[in-house]
Amino acid sequence: MSENIQRMYKKRPKDWITKWSIFLTIVALIAISVPYVDYKGLTDYGQEIAKSIILGIIQPKLSLLFDFSSKEAVPYLLLETVCIAFLGTLVGSILALPFAFFSARNLVPAWLSAIVTFFITVVRTFPAFVYGLMFIRVTGPGPFTGALTLAVSGIGMTAKLYVETIEDLDKGILEALDASGCNTIQKIRYGIIPQLMSNFASTTIYRFEINVKNASILGLVGAGGIGYPLISAIGAFRWSDAGTLLFGLIVLVLIIEYLSGRLRKKLATGV
Amino acid sequence: MIQFKNVVKTYPGGVQALKGVNLTIEQGEFVAIIGLSGAGKSTLIRSINQMHQITEGEINVDGQDVSKLSGEALRHFRRKIGMVFQSFNLVKRTTVIKNVLAARVADMPLWKSLLGVYSKSDKILALEALDKVGILEKAYVRADMLSGGQQQRVALARCLAQKPQIILADEPVASLDPLTSQQVMEDFVKINRDLNITVVANMHHVDIATKYAKRIIGIKAGEIVFDGPSSELTNDHLTQIYGRDLQRDDFMGVE
Amino acid sequence: MNKLKNALPAMIQGLKNAYFPEPLVLGNGKTVQPKRSVMVYILPILTIAVVFSANIIGFDIGVLIRRGAQFFVIVGRMIPPDWNYIPDVIGPLLETIMMSILGTMIGAFLSLPLAFLSSDNIIKNKAFLWTLRMIVSLFRTLPILIFAFILKYIFGIGTFAGTLAIALFTWLIMTKMLYEIIETVDMGPFEAIESSGASRVRAFTVSIIPQIIGQYISIALYNFEMNIRSAAILGYVGAGGIGLLLNEKLGWRQYDRVGLILFALLVTVYVIETISRYIRKRLS
């Protein structure tokens, strides 16, 4: 082995340090977290349950699936879930607007922006479920509470996304309008609103998609939608019903995701 | 030894990229393949290591029909063949030596390649390969910090780390300037001469091909229309290969 | 009143113009037919949808007005939080954090091979690819709470169900995020290593993973952030963490303790998000 090669070999970067620290970090993380996980093994009928659920999904109970008249059947429940999400998203988006505007650093003074942003961050931290637990105690169970929950909890994330859009505003357009002699209202109407509209709409649709899933779990606490019947079916070991409801939910979410994706693509590329 | 026997490549849809190619290349030769874009140069070269699959005929390497290999047998065969690409195909974000060491993963257990654990002998091998192409000093530099010519040499070193019998080069200097191209071609010549590795290279530029390769193969529309020493390549031959008069683009500008 | 009367014809004309825009005649004699704005379709549909939905869910403005104030009363009682309750919160909070850590790590780790199998620049068998992606998409639609709930029946109440739920959920989500990244990668080196006789898995390891490792860690951290929040509520279905505690305290109207729980959650999420954001910034 030539001298040069030997020299270069000695110079090689000691990346074993990095590799070992990463490895040890991962091991450490696993080591501290595993004790918190108590594995009790399968419950007595754990395996059965797993199988039954899968079976229930693959072979849905058609009577439940296509019964359009009953309020307990899949179509109505899905409709209710969608409506909860729809109203919740709509109201939430409207409510988020003022918060967004008052938190945008290019529109309001820094101190105000900081306060409102903080508020938005706090609201955003808690999952919708937490709001659900609270609102149940305010307006009682039922789908109305669900919509209310989604409206309020949505303010956080929606406002944050709105703010990102607002802060990306192209000021040049405003300057041009200013130069041609527009007043503030005209500047807002022709300069700001068109830029924001399509992004806001896209954000709202995205939020709707998320809220459909949220609405289904709000049902768990009794806030309407497909959540509660699902949970009670599982709890009562009515696997076929549970599987059917899950099937319905999966189909609903897939459809909404597809439509939402298409719509938002159209918005992004200019309808 | 590489042997093509009546090799045909037909694409679905009817287009024939290779029409009955017969060819023998002995171990240690330096062959350049020239022709128009789309004449079949790339298909010819890439069918040797089955990057493209042929539809009829045989390709024998050292007596074994490699066109029918698959799975582990194919992979085993490919280890003897190094390949250099026009766009270098290095992992830009990693260092030069890691790029060269990548040639060794075919023989390593999965966990070692996943974690980047290479043996000392592998590392020495990689350094020696880099030394052979004259960029030992750049071993620990990030690949995207190098010039085009240097990157191509790293790619060449990567091939050498395989300890190959044959090196295939698909337009290796087409992206480089004349000066650098010559340096890289000289490396190819050196490797071919010192290590007796067969070099089969596609060349876009005729002058580079004739300057460095001992044997030229001219392809036109999937058929070999010239096969002989580069000294015997005349302008008439060139017009026949290219089907037109040669233009400035066909030359890199070296004498 | 008079003002309204005078404005009315203009409004009607405006409305008519929106639905049936009249062609405009330009100075040079050419006519241009403006298109109907999309809004004229959207607004009526939206209105109908709103009324319909409100009906279905039983929108009752009365309830809102009467009980709405109660919400603010509750919030009022949460501040100041009951600081003495801290010791009782630490345990469940740690559970939540640990479940998220382990669950996210397992999910992230498993998502590499699954994303490998779902990338169209590596796997050429369209039928296999499509089927695999379909199955992953299917399960991805389910909210994590449903996973946790079902797993609770299979594995019993406790943090195992929660951790597994997080792991599965993260696995599915990260697989999609990962294969979308893999499909944007430079395939050149992959081709080169494959041609040197390495299997696709090994070629992937040495040529693609280095290109995506930064983004991989970034999305893992992002998922970890999201998972902390989800983990907080898994407790509600008995899958460990502070969710159950939260519901209990709400039920007993111990709002000051609820305030503390929420505060603890807030602090935890904030700390984790800050650290995560810092690491993600360093990575790009």
Q: Which positions 25-44 of A are in contact with C (Cβ < 8 Å)?
A: 26, 29-30, 32-43
Interface residue of A25, A26, A30, A38 to substitute, partner C, most C CBs within 10 Å = A38
How many Cβ pairs closer than 8 A exist between chain B and C?
Answer: 77
DSSP, residue by residue, chain B: -EEEEEEEEE-TTS-EEEEEEEEEE-TT-EEEEE--TTSSHHHHHHHHTTSS--SEEEEEETTEEGGG--HHHHHHHHTTEEEEETT----TTSBHHHHHHGGGGGGS-HHHHHHT---HHHHHHHHHHHHHTT-GGGTTSBGGGS-HHHHHHHHHHHHHTT--SEEEEESTTTTS-HHHHHHHHHHHHHHHHHH--EEEEE-S-HHHHHHH-SEEEEEETTEEEEEEEGGG--HHHHHHHHSS---GGG--S--
Contact C192 B79 (CB under 8 A): no
Q: Which residues of chain B lie closer than 8 angstroms to C186, CB-CB? A: 92
Contact C158 A138 (CB under 8 A): no
Type of residue numbered B56: E
Question: Quick one: closest CA in B to A12, which residue?
Answer: B140
Band the pLDDT of C52: cuts 50, 70, 90.
confident
Check residue A35 and give its pLDDT. Answer: 86
Band the pLDDT of B165: cuts 50, 70, 90.
very high
Contact A1 B124 (CB under 8 A): yes
Check residue A1 and give its pLDDT. Answer: 62
Average pLDDT of the segment spanning B193-205: 94
Q: Consecutive sets of 10 residues in chain A, 271 residues long: mean pLDDT of each?
A: 83 85 91 84 76 78 73 82 91 90 82 90 89 85 88 90 84 78 71 79 91 88 84 83 86 92 83 55
Domains of chain A (ranges, CATH numbers): 56-269 (1.10.3720.10)
Check residue B193 and give its pLDDT. Answer: 94
Residue C75 has pLDDT above 90, yes or no: no
Quick check: B139 contacting A, CB < 8 Å? yes
| Minimum-distance CB partner of B127 among A5, A15, A19 | A5
From B139's Cα to the closest Cα of chain A, the distance in A is 8
Q: Which residues of chain B lie closer than 8 angstroms to C209, CB-CB? A: 114
Quick check: C59 contacting A, CB < 8 Å? yes
Contact B136 A12 (CB under 8 A): no
Helix axes A239-269, A46-58, angle to 10 degrees: 60
| Minimum-distance CB partner of A4 among B95, B136, B140 | B136
Average pLDDT of the segment spanning B61-69: 90
From C170's Cα to the closest Cα of chain B, the distance in A is 22
- Chain A adjacent subunits, 3+ CB pairs under 8 A: B, C
C190-241 residue pLDDT tens: 999 999 999 999 999 999 999 999 999 999 999 999 999 888 888 888 777 8
Contact A12 B124 (CB under 8 A): no
Contact C141 A36 (CB under 8 A): no
Q: Which residues of chain A lie closer than 8 angstroms to B127, CB-CB? A: 5, 8-9
Check residue A270 and give its pLDDT. Answer: 67
Band the pLDDT of B212: cuts 50, 70, 90.
very high
Quick check: A110 contacting C, CB < 8 Å? no
Neighbours of A76 (CB within 10 A): 16
Residues on chain B bordering chain C, Cβ-to-Cβ distance under 8 angstroms: 49, 51, 75-83, 85, 87-94, 98-99, 102-103, 105-106, 108, 110, 113-114, 155, 158-159, 162
Q: Which residues of chain B lie closer than 8 angstroms to C206, CB-CB? A: 91, 102, 105, 113
Question: Quick one: DSSP state of residue A34?
Answer: G
Band the pLDDT of B173: cuts 50, 70, 90.
very high
Q: Which residues of chain A lie closer than 8 angstroms to B115, CB-CB? A: 19
| Minimum-distance CB partner of B113 among C189, C192, C206 | C206
Per 3-state DSSP, chain A is made up of helix, strand and coil in percentages (nearest 5) of 80, 0, 20
Distance, C-alpha B41 to centroid of its chain: 11
Quick check: C138 contacting A, CB < 8 Å? yes
| Minimum-distance CB partner of A9 among B95, B115, B123 | B123
Average pLDDT of the segment spanning B236-247: 84
Contact B137 A8 (CB under 8 A): yes
Tell me the torsion sign for CA atoms C54, C56, C61, C66.
Answer: negative
Contact A29 C71 (CB under 8 A): no
Least confident of A122-131, A234-243, B114-123, B207-216: A234-243
Check residue C185 and give its pLDDT. Answer: 93
Least confident of B115-124, B198-207, C154-163, C184-193: C154-163
| Minimum-distance CB partner of B105 among C188, C202, C211 | C202
Q: Which positions 83-122 of B are in contact with A (Cβ < 8 Å)?
A: 95, 97, 115-116, 120
Residue C12 has pLDDT above 90, yes or no: no
Contact C196 B79 (CB under 8 A): yes
Interface residue of B49, B79, B91 to substitute, partner C, most C CBs within 10 Å = B91
Residue C51 has pLDDT above 90, yes or no: no
Q: Which two tokens stand for residue C33?
A: 């037919």
Report helix, strand or coil for C45.
Answer: helix
Contact B79 C197 (CB under 8 A): yes
Check residue A102 and give its pLDDT. Answer: 87
Quick check: C250 contacting A, CB < 8 Å? yes
Q: Where are the domains of chain C?
A: 2-59, 82-283
pTM of the complete model beyond 0.90: no
**B115 in Cβ contact with A15 (< 8 Å):** no
Question: Quick one: closest CA in A to C227, which residue?
Answer: A127
Q: Which residues of chain B lie closer than 8 angstroms to A11, CB-CB? A: 140
Residue C250 has pLDDT above 90, yes or no: no
Contact C146 A246 (CB under 8 A): yes
Quick check: A11 contacting B, CB < 8 Å? yes
Can you say whether residue A161 is alpha, beta or left, with left for phi > 0 and alpha for psi between -120 and 50 degrees? Answer: alpha
Neighbours of C109 (CB within 10 A): 15
Please give the CATH architecture assigned to the domain spanning C82-283. Orthogonal Bundle (1.10)
Whole-number average pLDDT of chain B: 91
From B78's Cα to the closest Cα of chain C, the distance in A is 4
Check residue B101 and give its pLDDT. Answer: 95
Average pLDDT of the segment spanning B130-143: 92
Contact B124 A11 (CB under 8 A): no
Residue B255 has pLDDT above 70, yes or no: no
For the ranges A195-199, A226-230, B23-27, B35-39, the one whose mean pLDDT is highest: B23-27
- ipTM entry: 0.92
Check residue B190 and give its pLDDT. Answer: 94
What does the buried/exposed string (b/e) look like for C136-160 if buried means 16 or more CB atoms within 10 Å of the residue's CB? Answer: bbbebbbbbbbbbbbbbbbbbbbbb
Check residue A103 and give its pLDDT. Answer: 87
pLDDT, greater one: C156 or B89: B89
